[in-house]
Amino acid sequence: MSAAYPALRLRRTRATAWSRRLHAETLLTPADLIWPLFVTEGEGEPVKALPGVSRWNLSGIVDRAREARDLGIPVVALFPNTPRELRSDDGAEAFNPDNLMCRAIRAIKDAVPEVGVLTDVALDPYTSHGHDGIVDASGYVLNDVTSEALVRQALVQAEAGSDIVAPSDMMDGRVAAIRDALESGGHPNVQIMAYAAKYASAFYGPFRDAVGTHGLLKGDKKTYQMDPANSEEALREVALDLAEGADSVMVKPGSPYLDIITRVKAAFEVPVFAYQVSGEYALIEAGVAAGVADRDAMVLETLLAFKRAGCSGVLTYHAAHAARLLGA
């Protein structure tokens, strides 16, 4: 047996916990996490479609930012639940320098300046029709008119103190327009994390409940978000956004698109982020509720998979829970 057996036994390095730690190829830490948070007017409330997730008022948002700091999470990502009466066809509330998003940015930067703030640049939390842009009479989202609106939105967020603006709308050319406006507007150090490969996915449903767009959307978003069948197109989208001035790029959703993350990282060698979206979170929580899944193990395994695939970091609603596990 000994003469015929290979000299290398790969199980040797797996035999003990200390050895498994020593030979681990991928490291996950709280610094790899971005915590998405929903902000609302008035009193905060749980999001029914996302067990364990809440909408927070301004005081609650500041408390969550302090919690992120204490857990070692470097960035929080903000998404507003705009009151229905402030929504309009053109999403004009997005340009209001005193809107809910801007007040939340200022509140966090005043109280916890060491925590980074990432803000969503898209019109769907502000439009009465639920689309990410301005639509024509047929319901088609107009690209260039929407891009002009996104520039205005990004500028008011930057002026409120946003550290990273993240256009999630998938309009052509909007990264270049936003970068030019930030440079000329006195915000050269505000980063752009482009949602470069955002797919028209079935995994977004609970998010739409959280930001109050459920039931508003007329039609679908397939004319601007990507076809789940395509991967070459994702590389073209990423190349365009990088050429236009993006500092980092995002693939969304996460788990169903690990192949896209790996291809983007290999092709461009730039910071790549994934969004573990609301549907992915809800599936884990449903498995836990059904008694067929261990939350701690699933959370850490899925996040480790993103890092292994090539991510610099992950947006996840499990960020605080994961950070506690990693810090234990």
The residues that are catalytic are: 198, 252
DSSP state of 84: G
What does the alpha-carbon distance between residue 30 and residue 319 come to, in Å, rounded to a whole number?
8
What does the alpha-carbon distance between residue 157 and residue 161 come to, in Å, rounded to a whole number?
6
CA dihedral 232, 33, 64, 162 (to 10 degrees): -60
Query: What is the distance in angstroms between the CA of the first residue and the CA of the last residue of the chain?
Result: 43
Residue from 192, 179, 201, 193 nearest 313 by CA: 193
User: For residue 128, with 0-12 CB atoms within 10 Å meaning exposed, 13-18 middle and 19 or more buried, which class applies?
Assistant: middle
Angle, helices 100-111 vs 143-160, to 10°: value is: 30
Say if residues 303 and 28 touch (Cβ distance below 8 Å): yes
Give per-residue burial for 40-60: e unless 16+ CB within 10 Å, then b. beeebeebebbeebbbbbbeb
CA distances (Å), origin 305, targets 26, 223, 256, 302: 9, 30, 11, 5
CA dihedral 309, 312, 316, 319 (to 10 degrees): 120
Sequence letter at residue 9: R
